[in-house]
Amino acid sequence: MAEKRRTIIPIGPYHPLQEEPEFYKLFVEGERIVDIDVRIGYNHRGIEKLAESKHYDQIVYLIERICGICSTSHPIAYVQAVEDIMGDIEIPERALYIRSIIGELERVHSHLLWLGLAGHFLGYNTVFMWAWKYREPVLDIFEVISGNRNHYAMLKPGGVRRDIDDDAIPGIIKILDDLIPVLDMFKGAVLDDPVLAARLKGVGILSKKDIVEYSALGPVARASGIEIDVRKDEPYAAYDRVKWNVITQQEGDVFAKAVVRILETYESISIIKQCLQKMPKGPIDAELKDIPPGEGIGHHEAPRGETFHYVRSDGTNSPVRHKVRAPTFMNFPTFKASVIGERVADATIILAAIDPCYCCTERMSVIDRKSGKQLLAGEQLIKLSQERTKEIARKMGRS
């Protein structure tokens, strides 16, 4: 085999591209990427283990802090898992609507945040500043509803913690209506800008087959023409009570992902407005009984894809196992398909295109891909890590 000289371009562990520590090793020949190695695990905080020592109602606060951006997607999935264990519990209608409203508001602010960051990664700082400026009113809505701009603390098993005041609804709808022209502007700026099109079209393409093989989720999958969305596929909260569409694009490149996110924001605004108008009066939480032994799952379509929670109870007031699977964990491996063969200049935007959320992903559950076996024990993890280091050292020594 002809040995070619490869340069390793490190992105991370600390890099201006990322707000969180992650390590991508790009193996390049010239400007062309020939291989990529993704190292995650710099942000591990042991949240799943911590959850086992907390009461069911305390866990909501804990997992809300898994991530600051999609801070409500984990509680929504978690409370649904707990309610799944309870089985026969009836959640009040109003609480379901409020859950949907909070979940969609989060999608609006998260997609605007991504749009800004994507602009920044392309050196287009004007988009960055503008997107974040127009994200502020959404955070104001959160402040009106929950008193917090982030970490809304709205969810609890059995319902929600705070009601949305009827007097506040016209104001919220006005802010949302004002967002529509802003989105039109961004849509125009993205779809019609020839330079942006040249940078994003045909870059980092994920085919339908790639998506299926890597089990990618969320906007990443939808941009490749796969209509996957838990809100539609397995409705929860109030998503089956309002009219909305799953947005898909066929191209699978970074441009399609941007388009999907922008168009989804319109859908989210429409969902919120419908929910606010249709929301029935009534109680916002149900009386909770003891949690019986058993297991339950809950999922929520977070801005980045499906968040999945599994909770196992033994009848005490703490779970014996709480497993969180964030969408980024599923979207990470697609880099193998999307980055290799591209140029270094495109790597950053491709890496950013899945909107990676590392803090969500890292509660460390490593799966050995060959055997499919889950390695959970600490010693095994350490051993695996050491083997990995040795392997890399060996590879680097050879090339």
Identity of the residue, 22 or 64, whose beta carbon is nearer to another protein in the bound complex: 22
Contact positions with another protein (CB under 8 A) in 29-58: 31
Give residue 102's identity as a one-letter amino acid code: I
The residues, ordered by sequence, that sit 6+ positions from 17 with a Cβ below 8 Å of its Cβ are 11, 121, 348, 351, 352
User: What's the half-sphere exposure (Cβ side, CA atoms, 13 Å) at 340?
Assistant: 10
The least CB distance from residue 6 to another protein, in Å, is 10
Q: Which stretch binds another protein (CB under 8 A): 8-16, 163-171, 268-276, 298-306?
A: 8-16
Cβ 200 to another protein shortest distance, Å:
9
Q: Are 310 and 59 in contact (CB under 8 A)?
A: no
Q: Across the strands, what pairs with 236? A: none
Cβ burial 187-211 (10 Å sphere, 16+ → b, else e): bebbeeeeebeebbeebbbbeeebb
Least distance CB 388 / another protein (angstroms): 22
Q: How far is the CB of 344 from another protein (least distance, A)?
A: 7
CB 336 to another protein: min, Å: 20
Would you say 24 or 266 has its CB closer to another protein? Answer: 24
> Whose Cβ is closer to another protein: residue 202's or residue 333's?
202
Options 2-10, 45-53, 221-229, 268-276: segment touching another protein (CB under 8 A): 2-10
How many CB atoms are closer than 10 A to CB 289?
10
Q: Is 199 in the site for another protein (CB under 8 A)?
A: yes
Q: Where are the beta strands (DSSP E) in 19-111?
A: 23-29, 32-39
- Residue of 2, 4, 87, 195 that binds another protein (CB under 8 A): 195
Bridge partners of residue 8, in order along the sequence: 27
> Of residues 37, 140, 193, 295, which one binds another protein by CB under 8 A?
193
Tell me the window of 5-13, 207-215, 324-332, 389-397 that interacts with another protein (CB under 8 A). Answer: 5-13
- Residues in region 90-129 near another protein by CB under 8 A: 119-129
Burial class (CB within 10 angstroms; exposed 0-12, middle 13-18, buried 19+) of 300: buried
Number of residues forming the site for another protein (CB under 8 A)? 32
Spell out, one character per residue from 342 to 361, where the chain touches another protein: x when CB under 8 A holds, - when not: -xxxxxx-------------
What does the buried/exposed string (b/e) look like for 56-73 if buried means 16 or more CB atoms within 10 Å of the residue's CB?
A: beebbebbbebbebbbbb
Collapse the DSSP code of 259 into the 3-class scheme (helix H, G, I; strand E, B; otherwise coil) and give the result: helix
- Would you say 198 or 376 has its CB closer to another protein? 198
CB atoms within 10 A of CB 295: 15
Residue whose CB is less far from another protein, 45 or 133: 133
The CA-atom distances, in angstroms, between 331 and each of 68, 351, 375 are: 19, 10, 20
Bridge pairing between strands 159-160 and 23-29: unpaired
Residue 133 binds another protein (CB under 8 A): yes
CB of 7 to another protein, least distance (A): 5
**Nearest distance from residue 195's CB to another protein, in Å?**
5
Cβ-based neighbours of 313, under 8 Å, separated by 6 or more: 85, 291, 292, 293, 294, 295, 296, 319, 320
Q: Which one of 1, 3, 4, 16 is in contact with another protein (CB under 8 A)?
A: 16
What's the closest the beta carbon of residue 353 comes to another protein, in angstroms? 13
CA atoms within 13 A on the CB side of 97: 20
15 sits near another protein (criterion: CB under 8 A): yes
The least distance separating another protein from the CB of residue 115, rounded to whole angstroms, comes to 12
Give contact residues for another protein (rule: CB under 8 A).
7-10, 15-17, 31, 119-130, 133, 193, 195-196, 198-199, 343-348
